[in-house]
Structure 1
Amino acid sequence: EDVITPIIGMIGGFDFSSFVITVNNSNIAIGNFINAVINFLLIAFVLFSIIKAMNKAAAVVKKPEEEPAAPTTKICPYCKSEIAIEATRCPHCTSQLEG
């Protein structure tokens, strides 16, 4: 507990943990609140960086996309209906199909 802010206090010359405001004979430890906010922001930044790196790594290892499946239907050249690709005669207009 309170590992990071004393280090910041040594660098900046001010220790937040001892910062107290007195209002109507009651002490409000504003320094502890500042410590909690700084700790939260540092932990949030570290987690954000880790998750961002993991997402970037997952995008690199992304599975190759599947090739589109071969078509199973075609359009009748006479009536423009959708029919099976193996059909030799259109079931809608009964036209003889080539191939």
Structure 2
Amino acid sequence: MLKEFRDFAMRGSVVDMAVGIIIGVAFGAIIKSLVDDVLMPPIGLLLGQVDFSNLFAVLREGATAGPYVSLAAAKAAGAVTVNYGLFVNSIISFVIVAFAVFLVIKNLNRLKKAEAPAAPTTKDCPHCCTAIPVAATRCPNCTSPL
């Protein structure tokens, strides 16, 4: 059973998939950092010094009564919150990842079109089955009209 699992795991497609997942997780961490640390602070400044990660609505107060200065303070007090600021960050992260994947797929498709096989220059004679030029009107081997 171990040998079968090892054979399965060492197949090229499984290893490729594992590498893709690992790179995808690392790419996701980079995008999260890009959104949280680079994009959201300037957007927050433009919108009046808003920190999206601290936008939340209190559904039920915790052990200590609000208002809570930050999401961390609300969580520490045990308040039940709707964290819509974190949701906005996640949406922006998703849009950036989707756009990056779109660009990668677009470039891969462009490469596939560039590598498209050339049009065939020969065809088979229906009578003698030998290869002849596509433009031929008579087979040079069996002299049959095409």
Instruction: Compute the TM-score of the two structures, normalised by the length of structure 2.
Output: 0.44
Q: Please tell me whether the aligned partners of residues 5 and 35 of structure 1 are also in contact (alpha carbons under 8 angstroms).
A: yes
Identity of aligned residues (%): 19
The residue number in structure 2 matching 1:11 is: 42
State the structure with bigger RCO (CA 8 A, min sep 6), 1 or 2.
2
Looking at structure 1, the residues matched to 40 and 125 of structure 2 have their Cα atoms a distance apart, in angstroms, of: 69
Question: Greater helix share, 1 or 2?
Answer: 2
Distance apart, 1:41 and its partner CA: 0.9
Distance apart, 1:54 and its partner CA: 0.9
Q: How many residues align?
A: 77
The residue number in structure 2 matching 1:50 is: 104
Instruction: Compute the TM-score of the two structures, normalised by the length of structure 1.
Output: 0.62
Q: How does 1:1-99 map to 2 (within 5 A)?
A: 2-3=32-33, 4-12=35-43, 13=45, 14-25=50-61, 26-73=80-127
Looking at structure 2, the residues matched to 24 and 35 of structure 1 have their Cα atoms a distance apart, in angstroms, of: 23
CA RMSD of aligned residues (A): 2.6
Distance apart, 1:70 and its partner CA: 3.5
String of CA shifts for 1:39-91, please: whole Å, max 9, x gaps.
Answer: 11100100010110111011112121323513324xxxxxxxxxxxx5xxxxx
Q: Which residue type is aligned with residue 43 of structure 1?
A: V
Looking at structure 2, the residues matched to 31 and 6 of structure 1 have their Cα atoms a distance apart, in angstroms, of: 14
Larger of the two Rg values belongs to structure: 1
Distance apart, 1:15 and its partner CA: 1.8
User: Alignment partner of 2:123: what SS?
Assistant: coil
